[in-house]
Protein backbone atom coordinates (compact mmCIF):
# COMPACT_ATOMS: atom_id res chain seq x y z
CA UNK A 1 0.00 0.00 0.00
CA UNK A 2 1.43 3.37 -1.02
CA UNK A 3 1.94 6.13 1.53
CA UNK A 4 -0.16 8.50 -0.56
CA UNK A 5 -3.16 6.19 -0.12
CA UNK A 6 -2.64 6.14 3.65
CA UNK A 7 -2.37 9.93 3.85
CA UNK A 8 -5.55 10.35 1.79
CA UNK A 9 -7.39 7.84 3.99
CA UNK A 10 -6.23 9.60 7.17
CA UNK A 11 -7.38 12.95 5.75
CA UNK A 12 -10.78 11.55 4.77
CA UNK A 13 -11.53 9.43 7.86
CA UNK A 14 -9.21 11.05 10.46
CA UNK A 15 -7.10 9.08 12.94
CA UNK A 16 -6.78 6.64 14.63
CA UNK A 17 -7.40 4.62 11.50
CA UNK A 18 -7.18 0.96 10.53
CA UNK A 19 -6.72 0.06 6.87
CA UNK A 20 -7.19 -3.51 5.62
CA UNK A 21 -6.49 -5.07 2.24
CA UNK A 22 -9.56 -7.23 1.65
CA UNK A 23 -8.14 -8.71 -1.55
CA UNK A 24 -5.20 -10.16 0.38
CA UNK A 25 -7.53 -11.33 3.16
CA UNK A 26 -9.72 -13.24 0.71
CA UNK A 27 -6.65 -14.62 -1.09
CA UNK A 28 -5.16 -15.90 2.18
CA UNK A 29 -8.48 -17.46 3.21
CA UNK A 30 -8.71 -19.31 -0.09
CA UNK A 31 -5.05 -20.35 0.17
CA UNK A 32 -5.58 -21.84 3.61
CA UNK A 33 -8.76 -23.60 2.48
CA UNK A 34 -6.95 -25.09 -0.52
CA UNK A 35 -4.03 -26.11 1.72
CA UNK A 36 -6.31 -28.10 4.02
CA UNK A 37 -8.22 -29.64 1.14
CA UNK A 38 -11.80 -30.95 0.99
CA UNK A 39 -13.54 -32.29 4.07
CA UNK A 40 -12.09 -29.61 6.36
CA UNK A 41 -14.11 -26.44 6.91
CA UNK A 42 -12.84 -23.12 8.24
CA UNK A 43 -13.99 -21.32 11.38
CA UNK A 44 -12.93 -17.67 11.83
CA UNK A 45 -12.29 -16.65 15.45
CA UNK A 46 -13.60 -13.09 15.29
CA UNK A 47 -11.69 -12.08 18.43
CA UNK A 48 -8.63 -12.04 16.17
CA UNK A 49 -10.12 -9.04 14.38
CA UNK A 50 -13.80 -8.08 14.87
CA UNK A 51 -13.54 -5.43 12.13
CA UNK A 52 -13.33 -8.20 9.53
CA UNK A 53 -16.27 -10.26 10.78
CA UNK A 54 -18.68 -9.22 8.03
CA UNK A 55 -16.26 -10.22 5.27
CA UNK A 56 -15.14 -13.45 6.93
CA UNK A 57 -18.78 -14.44 7.39
CA UNK A 58 -18.89 -14.61 3.59
CA UNK A 59 -15.61 -16.50 3.13
CA UNK A 60 -15.38 -18.82 6.16
CA UNK A 61 -17.78 -21.63 7.02
CA UNK A 62 -18.30 -20.44 10.59
CA UNK A 63 -17.66 -17.47 12.85
CA UNK A 64 -16.54 -18.31 16.39
CA UNK A 65 -18.21 -15.99 18.91
CA UNK A 66 -16.63 -15.87 22.38
CA UNK A 67 -18.38 -13.01 24.19
CA UNK A 68 -21.66 -11.16 24.34
CA UNK A 69 -19.97 -8.17 22.72
CA UNK A 70 -18.96 -10.34 19.77
CA UNK A 71 -22.45 -11.80 19.59
CA UNK A 72 -24.00 -8.33 19.39
CA UNK A 73 -21.55 -7.34 16.65
CA UNK A 74 -22.77 -10.34 14.64
CA UNK A 75 -26.40 -9.36 15.24
CA UNK A 76 -25.68 -5.80 14.10
CA UNK A 77 -23.95 -7.12 10.98
CA UNK A 78 -26.89 -9.51 10.44
CA UNK A 79 -24.61 -12.54 10.24
CA UNK A 80 -26.97 -15.53 9.80
CA UNK A 81 -27.28 -17.62 12.99
CA UNK A 82 -26.40 -20.68 10.89
CA UNK A 83 -22.90 -19.21 10.54
CA UNK A 84 -22.26 -18.83 14.27
CA UNK A 85 -20.28 -21.12 16.54
CA UNK A 86 -20.98 -19.91 20.08
CA UNK A 87 -17.94 -20.52 22.23
CA UNK A 88 -16.19 -19.06 25.26
CA UNK A 89 -16.27 -19.40 29.03
CA UNK A 90 -17.68 -16.05 30.18
CA UNK A 91 -21.40 -16.59 29.45
CA UNK A 92 -23.82 -16.45 32.34
CA UNK A 93 -27.19 -18.20 32.29
CA UNK A 94 -28.97 -15.03 31.14
CA UNK A 95 -26.40 -14.57 28.35
CA UNK A 96 -26.92 -18.13 27.14
CA UNK A 97 -30.68 -17.65 27.14
CA UNK A 98 -30.40 -14.39 25.20
CA UNK A 99 -28.36 -16.14 22.51
CA UNK A 100 -30.68 -19.17 22.49
CA UNK A 101 -33.74 -16.95 22.08
CA UNK A 102 -32.16 -15.43 18.97
CA UNK A 103 -30.36 -18.43 17.43
CA UNK A 104 -32.18 -21.46 18.82
CA UNK A 105 -30.95 -24.61 17.10
CA UNK A 106 -29.66 -22.78 14.02
CA UNK A 107 -26.08 -22.49 15.29
CA UNK A 108 -23.72 -24.72 17.29
CA UNK A 109 -22.60 -24.20 20.89
CA UNK A 110 -19.60 -25.28 22.93
CA UNK A 111 -20.08 -26.67 26.43
CA UNK A 112 -17.43 -25.50 28.87
CA UNK A 113 -18.64 -27.20 32.08
CA UNK A 114 -21.37 -29.45 33.50
CA UNK A 115 -23.20 -26.31 34.66
CA UNK A 116 -22.98 -24.90 31.15
CA UNK A 117 -24.51 -28.15 29.84
CA UNK A 118 -27.31 -27.84 32.39
CA UNK A 119 -28.26 -24.43 30.97
CA UNK A 120 -28.75 -25.96 27.51
CA UNK A 121 -30.63 -28.95 28.91
CA UNK A 122 -33.01 -26.63 30.77
CA UNK A 123 -33.69 -24.61 27.64
CA UNK A 124 -34.33 -27.66 25.46
CA UNK A 125 -36.79 -28.99 28.03
CA UNK A 126 -38.61 -25.64 28.19
CA UNK A 127 -38.62 -25.12 24.41
CA UNK A 128 -39.19 -28.50 22.71
CA UNK A 129 -40.59 -26.66 19.69
CA UNK A 130 -37.12 -25.23 18.99
CA UNK A 131 -35.78 -28.57 17.81
CA UNK A 132 -32.45 -30.18 18.69
CA UNK A 133 -29.56 -28.09 20.06
CA UNK A 134 -26.14 -29.02 18.62
CA UNK A 135 -23.48 -29.02 21.34
CA UNK A 136 -19.69 -29.41 21.39
CA UNK A 137 -18.26 -30.30 24.83
CA UNK A 138 -14.84 -28.70 25.21
CA UNK A 139 -11.98 -31.06 26.02
CA UNK A 140 -9.29 -29.33 28.03
CA UNK A 141 -5.70 -29.20 26.82
CA UNK A 142 -4.53 -29.17 30.44
CA UNK A 143 -5.24 -25.51 31.15
CA UNK A 144 -8.15 -23.96 33.07
CA UNK A 145 -10.52 -24.09 30.10
CA UNK A 146 -12.81 -26.97 29.21
CA UNK A 147 -13.25 -30.35 30.93
CA UNK A 148 -11.20 -33.48 31.45
CA UNK A 149 -11.80 -36.65 29.45
CA UNK A 150 -14.08 -38.35 31.97
CA UNK A 151 -16.31 -35.29 32.30
CA UNK A 152 -16.57 -34.86 28.53
CA UNK A 153 -17.50 -38.54 28.14
CA UNK A 154 -20.11 -38.17 30.88
CA UNK A 155 -21.70 -35.20 29.08
CA UNK A 156 -21.62 -37.05 25.75
CA UNK A 157 -23.53 -39.91 27.41
CA UNK A 158 -26.06 -37.57 29.01
CA UNK A 159 -26.68 -35.88 25.65
CA UNK A 160 -27.71 -39.23 24.16
CA UNK A 161 -30.48 -39.49 26.75
CA UNK A 162 -32.01 -36.06 26.03
CA UNK A 163 -34.29 -35.71 22.98
CA UNK A 164 -33.62 -31.99 22.61
CA UNK A 165 -29.82 -32.27 22.70
CA UNK A 166 -27.28 -33.63 20.22
CA UNK A 167 -23.57 -33.81 21.02
CA UNK A 168 -22.55 -33.14 17.43
CA UNK A 169 -18.84 -32.94 18.16
CA UNK A 170 -16.10 -31.94 20.58
CA UNK A 171 -14.14 -28.70 20.79
CA UNK A 172 -10.40 -28.49 21.45
CA UNK A 173 -8.11 -25.46 21.60
CA UNK A 174 -4.71 -25.27 23.26
CA UNK A 175 -3.23 -21.90 22.29
CA UNK A 176 -1.98 -19.76 19.42
CA UNK A 177 1.15 -19.02 17.40
CA UNK A 178 2.16 -22.67 17.02
CA UNK A 179 5.05 -22.55 14.56
CA UNK A 180 5.96 -26.23 14.61
CA UNK A 181 3.92 -28.87 12.81
CA UNK A 182 4.94 -31.54 15.35
CA UNK A 183 2.75 -29.94 18.01
CA UNK A 184 -0.30 -30.20 15.74
CA UNK A 185 0.53 -33.81 14.94
CA UNK A 186 0.85 -34.64 18.64
CA UNK A 187 -2.46 -32.96 19.49
CA UNK A 188 -4.36 -34.62 16.64
CA UNK A 189 -2.96 -38.03 17.62
CA UNK A 190 -4.18 -37.42 21.18
CA UNK A 191 -7.63 -36.37 19.94
CA UNK A 192 -7.80 -39.45 17.73
CA UNK A 193 -7.17 -41.67 20.77
CA UNK A 194 -9.85 -39.86 22.75
CA UNK A 195 -12.39 -40.22 19.94
CA UNK A 196 -11.59 -43.93 19.68
CA UNK A 197 -12.20 -44.22 23.43
CA UNK A 198 -15.59 -42.55 22.95
CA UNK A 199 -16.42 -44.95 20.11
CA UNK A 200 -15.61 -47.91 22.35
CA UNK A 201 -18.27 -46.63 24.72
CA UNK A 202 -20.81 -46.46 21.87
CA UNK A 203 -20.59 -42.68 21.59
CA UNK A 204 -20.62 -41.36 18.03
CA UNK A 205 -18.77 -38.03 17.66
CA UNK A 206 -19.27 -36.77 14.12
CA UNK A 207 -17.30 -33.50 14.21
CA UNK A 208 -14.06 -32.20 15.65
CA UNK A 209 -13.79 -28.43 16.09
CA UNK A 210 -10.03 -27.99 16.33
CA UNK A 211 -8.58 -24.60 17.18
CA UNK A 212 -5.27 -25.17 15.47
CA UNK A 213 -3.58 -21.96 16.63
CA UNK A 214 -1.50 -22.01 13.45
CA UNK A 215 1.18 -19.32 13.65
CA UNK A 216 1.03 -16.24 11.43
CA UNK A 217 4.30 -14.36 10.76
CA UNK A 218 3.85 -10.66 11.45
CA UNK A 219 7.09 -9.43 9.87
CA UNK A 220 8.58 -9.90 6.42
CA UNK A 221 11.77 -11.61 7.59
CA UNK A 222 9.92 -14.12 9.79
CA UNK A 223 8.43 -17.46 8.75
CA UNK A 224 6.30 -20.15 10.38
CA UNK A 225 6.28 -23.74 9.21
CA UNK A 226 2.57 -24.12 9.88
CA UNK A 227 1.70 -21.09 7.72
CA UNK A 228 3.54 -22.28 4.61
CA UNK A 229 2.03 -24.59 1.99
CA UNK A 230 4.09 -27.56 3.21
CA UNK A 231 2.91 -26.96 6.78
CA UNK A 232 -0.73 -26.74 5.75
CA UNK A 233 -0.34 -29.93 3.75
CA UNK A 234 1.26 -31.61 6.79
CA UNK A 235 -1.68 -30.55 8.93
CA UNK A 236 -4.09 -31.85 6.31
CA UNK A 237 -2.25 -35.21 6.27
CA UNK A 238 -2.39 -35.38 10.08
CA UNK A 239 -6.18 -34.92 10.00
CA UNK A 240 -6.59 -37.46 7.20
CA UNK A 241 -4.52 -39.94 9.19
CA UNK A 242 -6.98 -39.90 12.08
CA UNK A 243 -9.00 -43.07 12.46
Angstrom CA distances, 215 to 23, 63, 170, 219, 232, stand at 21, 19, 22, 12, 11
Instruction: Report the percent of the chain where pLDDT is more than 90.
Output: 79
The rounded mean pLDDT for the chain is 94
Contact 167, 201 (CB under 8 A): no
CATH architecture of 41-240: Alpha-Beta Barrel (3.20)
Contact 172, 208 (CB under 8 A): yes
pTM for the model = 0.93
pLDDT tens for each residue of 186-215: 999 999 999 999 999 999 999 999 998 888
Q: How confident is the model at residue 2 (pLDDT cuts 50, 70, 90)?
A: confident
Alpha helices (H) in 104-203, listed in sequence order: 114-126, 149-161, 181-200
pLDDT tens for each residue of 21-53: 999 999 999 999 998 888 899 999 999 999 999
Q: What is the DSSP letter of 51?
A: G
Spatial CA neighbour of 124 closest among 171, 159, 80, 72: 159
Amino acid sequence: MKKEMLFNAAKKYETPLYVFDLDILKEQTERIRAGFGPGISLCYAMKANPFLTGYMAQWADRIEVCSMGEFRICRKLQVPPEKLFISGVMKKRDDIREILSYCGNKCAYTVESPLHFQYFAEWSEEHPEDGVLRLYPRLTSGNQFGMDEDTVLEILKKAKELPGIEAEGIHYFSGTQKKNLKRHQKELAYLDEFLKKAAEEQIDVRCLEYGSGTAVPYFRDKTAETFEEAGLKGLQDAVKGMQ
